[in-house]
Amino acid sequence: VKIHPKVAEEAARIVSIRRRLHQQPELSFQEHGTAKLIVEELRGARVDVRHPVARTGVVATMQNGDGPCIALRADMDALPITESSNAPYKSQNEGVMHACGHDGHVAMLLGAVRALDALRSEWRGTIKFLFQPAEEGHAGAVSMIEDGALEGAAAAFGAHLWNFQDVGTVGVRAGPVMAAADRVTINVRGRGGHGAAPHQAVDAIMVAGHLLVALQSIVSRSVDPLDSAVISIGELRGGYGYNIIADDVFLRGTARAYREEVRQLLRRRLGEVCEGVGRTFGAKIELEYRDGYPPTVNDAAMTDVVRRAAGRVVGEAVGEPYMSMGGEDMAYYLRRVPGCFFFVGSSPLGASPRIPHHHPSFDFDEAALGIGASVFVNIALDMLRA
């Protein structure tokens, strides 16, 4: 592993920032202390600081002569999880925890700020460092874009520490890397009645049973088998007692896909199946389909930039990331400008089992921070070569 020399100089500081953030995790759009720490850390660098952006976000713009403009992004928020850890840097905010690694993302990007400030003779242009709130389900990226955070940027890059890969590796892949994750709410409306007289009722539980099975035919029979999609009904409620025919059943779940076309297919077929099953049994089925994050799709040329930048840090250990049907709001930036979202392996070597993100004992190998910061620095140097 070849940490960029300017990042190596900042290594201790990057780890200390990460640990301070880890001790004071804050939920989406409540990252006030986090933003304060970021603004203080930026004081030592020649950047123009905008805060607040998107309520609790920070944008630092580093100008260095004429040239293109790129955006580098880190998310800032933590999760409502009680940390189970004996680490000295354990969460001091009861019930809140940096269980996804966003503390590390902020620390890596602050390290890149200082390194790129010291490397001004090697690049020309503008770098916008985006410290974004509320990635965990609250679409902070949308607020950032609405507040102009991306203005002027011709490309955007972001990273996720990734405990599904060993530290010392970087996952880079063109095309979709994270899924669209939409929410589905269904109400089956029948007509209640006596268990002895089904002919006088419309049994919502029986209809829901058919619907539940028919919905799974969408992925198995309507989606191209070479595409990825998943529909999961996570909640089903209805009924009153052993001799009562239920009038209403409520279902809730998620629909996920990598490609926008597949996502539209899921939405359309969900509507058709609900309508059709309802008509078949004389029930009325109401479907509410709520868009979550869109798919995160990497541009091919920008992915090549990241692959080369990462190759100079970890050599041969640049591979394809472990894929996930999870969602990520980096997707919104990548719909506006070409860019790449990459994965910095962070699982300690030999860890078995690997501790997944969003787990109460999540932690990562801090050696990944220098790797991630170095990749960001190399990306900027390549995109903005003097």
- Which region among 27-35, 66-74, 97-105, 329-337 touches Zn ion (by CB under 5 A)? 97-105
- The answer for residues whose C-beta is within 8 angstroms of residue 316's C-beta and 6 or more apart is none
103 or 299: whose CB is closer to Zn ion?
103
State how far the Cα of 378 lies from the Cα of 7, in Å rounded to an integer: 11
Burial of 189 (0-12, 13-18, 19+ CB in 10 A): middle
State how far the Cα of 112 lies from the Cα of 344, in Å rounded to an integer: 15
- The answer for residues whose C-beta is within 8 angstroms of residue 242's C-beta and 6 or more apart is 195
From the centroid of its chain, how far is CA 3? 26
* Widest CA span in the chain: 85
- To Zn ion, the closest distance from the beta carbon of 355 in angstroms equals 13
170 or 381: whose CB is closer to Zn ion?
170
99 or 113: whose CB is closer to Zn ion?
99
- To Zn ion, the closest distance from the beta carbon of 105 in angstroms equals 8
70 or 134: whose CB is closer to Zn ion?
134
State how far the Cα of 107 lies from the Cα of 308, in Å rounded to an integer: 23
222 φ, ψ (degrees, to nearest 5): -105, -30
State how far the Cα of 280 lies from the Cα of 276, in Å rounded to an integer: 6
- To Zn ion, the closest distance from the beta carbon of 27 in angstroms equals 12
- To Zn ion, the closest distance from the beta carbon of 160 in angstroms equals 6
With beta carbons less than 8 A apart as the criterion, state whether 170 and 318 touch: yes
142 or 212: whose CB is closer to Zn ion?
142
Q: Is 329 marked active-site?
A: no
* C-alpha closest to that of 376 among 73, 68, 34: 73
**Active-site entry in 41, 77, 182, 366:** 77
- To Zn ion, the closest distance from the beta carbon of 290 in angstroms equals 19
Per-residue binding letters, 148-167, with Zn ion (x by CB under 5 A) = --------------------
Per-residue binding letters, 56-95, with Zn ion (x by CB under 5 A) = ----------------------------------------
Q: Interface with Zn ion includes 109 (CB under 5 A)? A: no
| Number of chain residues interacting with Zn ion (CB under 5 A) | 1
Contact pick of 100, 156, 159, 373 for Zn ion (by CB under 5 A)? 100
299 or 329: whose CB is closer to Zn ion?
329
Give one DSSP letter per residue of 64-82, joined into a string: ESSS-EEEEEEE---BS--
The strand order across the sheet containing 229-238 reads 229-238, 248-257, 180-189, 284-290
**Active-site entry in 83, 103, 135, 299:** 135
- To Zn ion, the closest distance from the beta carbon of 191 in angstroms equals 43
- Which region among 38-46, 100-108, 289-297, 304-312 touches Zn ion (by CB under 5 A)? 100-108
Amino acid in the structure at residue 362: F
> Residue 202 pairs with which residues in a beta bridge?
191
Q: Is 224 marked active-site?
A: no
- Residues in touch with Zn ion (CB under 5 A): 100
Which amino acids are annotated catalytic? 77, 135
